[in-house]
Amino acid sequence: MITLSRRSALCLLAVAGCPLSARAAEDAKPAKPTFVPLGDFTINLPDDSSMSYVVIGITLEVPPEAVGDMNDIAPRLKDLCISRLMTMAAQGMLAPGHTDLVMIKSSLFDGISRLRPNSVRQVLVTRLLYG
């Protein structure tokens, strides 16, 4: 009968477990994020004294399998973004220094989710410029 010392048994377990740990770590890596840029949207702001505007860049984080679908409906997505942003501007929600990015993201996310449920992970604001 072969007897292993405690130290030998631990070493054997450690060596045997390494490939499993490395393989498990590879399997546990999250998938690379996939982004669909919708572009920059220029929205006029209501201002009686002068002409002012805001430029807002929007990018969507989507599952890899949804990229083709998002590209297919890009005109509808852009129309939705413009409509929502224009409504926010008319309500004074896009004023310089008083813009709530969480509100913008949430409003756009809700609209896109109605258009394509479970297809968007996150709405990213990639540019916010007032002029």
pLDDT in tens, 43-66: 999 877 788 999 999 999 999 999
Task: Give the domain range for residue 118.
Answer: 34-130
Number of domains in the chain: 1
CATH of the domain at 120: 3.30.479
Is 67 part of a structural domain of the chain? yes
* Helix or strand holding residue 1 (H, E): none
Taking the C-alpha atoms of residue 38 and residue 34, their distance in angstroms, rounded to an integer, is 13
Is 73 part of a structural domain of the chain? yes
Is 2 part of a structural domain of the chain? no
Predicted confidence at residue 69, as pLDDT, reads 92
Predicted confidence at residue 31, as pLDDT, reads 74
Q: Answer left, alpha or beta for residue 118, where phi above 0 means left and psi between -120 and 50 means alpha.
A: left
Is 8 part of a structural domain of the chain? no
Is 12 part of a structural domain of the chain? no
Number of H helices, E strands in the chain: 4, 3
Is the pTM higher than 0.95? no
3-state secondary structure 44-88: EECCCCCCEEEEEEEEEEECHHHHHHHHHCHHHHHHHHHHHHHHH
Which stretches of the chain score pLDDT less than 70?
Answer: 1-28
Is 5 part of a structural domain of the chain? no
Give whole-number Cα distances, 126 to 28, 31, 59, 65, 84, in Å.
29, 22, 7, 23, 17
